[in-house]
């Protein structure tokens, strides 16, 4: 099926943003098609889900290669932790926002009403799909260069922020282990805000005793914040 003039205009606008012209316009069209659109429309049969899968793997490879090459003095543990911070939903969602990718994403009416383009995982998935489309339309080398040139500064901010490697949950558990105490557990206390921008409150507990509470935009971060607060309490006792 041929793409409409309006759709081609959207694609052309996006190409202008990233400085690349697609040979296969239908490829980037699919990258900008959410599964909800397919579920509600009979006009197209492909969503961007398969491209997301491919994009995730390719981006993992690119980040791994860059870290391995440019940080030859860093141990495997550092490389793994740094890669996990770069190849993740939060990181990819921010990359998506840099080019406002969800502006071009076609949704089903239901998903659109629910604020689909504001959801972090949708943004991240879109970025993965677009990267896969660029890779298939050009080459690994081109995508590699594109990622380095467009996202170097953002990546360096993450890499140079050593505070992100503070695993407070592990530190807190190690403290309790050294004092012969049992394993701690984390419990969801509250969650507030719209679906695309929730704030979670987690409690870290020793049995039934609450040691501290923590806040975060996801449960994992809230757990880390709770553990950090518990360690602060221990220091002041």
Q: Where are the alpha helices (DSSP H) in the chain?
A: 5-18, 25-31, 35-40, 49-70, 76-86, 89-98, 109-113, 120-137, 140-160, 168-178, 219-236
Q: How high is the pLDDT of residue 43?
A: 66
Q: What is the pLDDT of residue 165?
A: 58
Answer yes or no: are the C-beta atoms of 60 and 136 closer than 8 Å.
Answer: no
The whole-angstrom separation of Cα 20 and Cα 139 is: 12
Architecture of domain 5-163: Orthogonal Bundle (1.10)
Nearest C-alpha neighbor of 125 from the set 195, 55, 37, 24: 55
Domain 168-236 sits in CATH 3.30.160.20: yes
In the sheet with 199-206, reading across from the earlier edge strand, the strands are 185-192, 199-206, 209-216
User: Which residues are within 8 A (CB) of 82 and not within 5 positions of it... i.e. 6 or more apart?
Assistant: 67, 71, 74, 158, 159
Predicted confidence at residue 188, as pLDDT, reads 96
Other beta carbons within 10 angstroms of residue 158's beta carbon come to 15
pTM above 0.85, yes or no: no
pLDDT value at residue 163: 54
Domain with CATH 1.10.1520.10 in the chain: 5-163
The CA distance from 237 to 235, in Å, is: 6
**pLDDT tens by residue, 37-61:** 888 776 667 899 999 999 999 999 9
Tens of pLDDT, residue by residue over 201-229, are: 999 999 899 999 999 888 988 999 999 99
pLDDT of residue 119: 86
Distance of CA 218 to the CA centre of its chain: 12
Residue 54, both tokens: 């491919």
CA 35 to chain centre: 19
What is the number of alpha carbons within 13 Å of residue 17 lying toward its C-beta? Answer: 15
Supply the pLDDT for residue 203.
97
DSSP state of 138: S
Q: Kindly list the catalytic residues.
A: 56, 128
pLDDT computed for residue 213 by the predictor:
96
Q: Is the dihedral of CA 34, 117, 94, 23 positive or negative?
A: positive
The boundaries of every CATH 3.30.160.20 domain in the chain are 168-236
Those residues of the chain that have pLDDT short of 50 are none
């Amino acid at each position: 099926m041929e793409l409409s003039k309006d759709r081609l205009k959207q694609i052309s606008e996006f190409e202008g943003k990233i400085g690349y012209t697609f040979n296969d316009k239908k490829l980037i069209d699919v990258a900008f098609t959410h599964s909800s659109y397919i579920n509600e429309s009979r006009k197209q049969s492909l969503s961007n889900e398969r491209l997301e899968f491919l994009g995730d793997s390719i981006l993992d490879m690119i980040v791994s290669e860059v870290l391995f090459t440019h940080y030859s003095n860093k141990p495997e543990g550092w490389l793994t932790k740094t890669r996990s911070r770069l190849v993740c939903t939060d990181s990819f969602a921010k990359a998506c926002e840099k080019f406002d990718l969800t502006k071009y994403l076609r949704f089903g009416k239901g998903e659109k009403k629910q604020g689909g383009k504001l959801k972090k995982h949708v943004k991240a998935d879109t970025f993965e799909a677009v990267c896969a489309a660029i890779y298939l339309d050009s080459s690994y080398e081109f995508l590699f260069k594109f990622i380095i040139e467009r996202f170097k500064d953002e990546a360096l901010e993450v890499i140079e922020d050593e505070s992100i490697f503070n695993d407070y949950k592990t530190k807190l558990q190690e403290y309790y282990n050294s004092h012969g105490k049992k394993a701690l557990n984390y419990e969801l206390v509250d969650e507030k805000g719209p679906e695309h921008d929730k704030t979670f409150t987690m409690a870290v507990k020793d049995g039934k005793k609450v040691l501290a509470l923590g806040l975060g935009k996801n449960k994992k971060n809230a757990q880390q914040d709770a553990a950090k607060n518990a360690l602060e309490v221990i220091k002041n006792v």
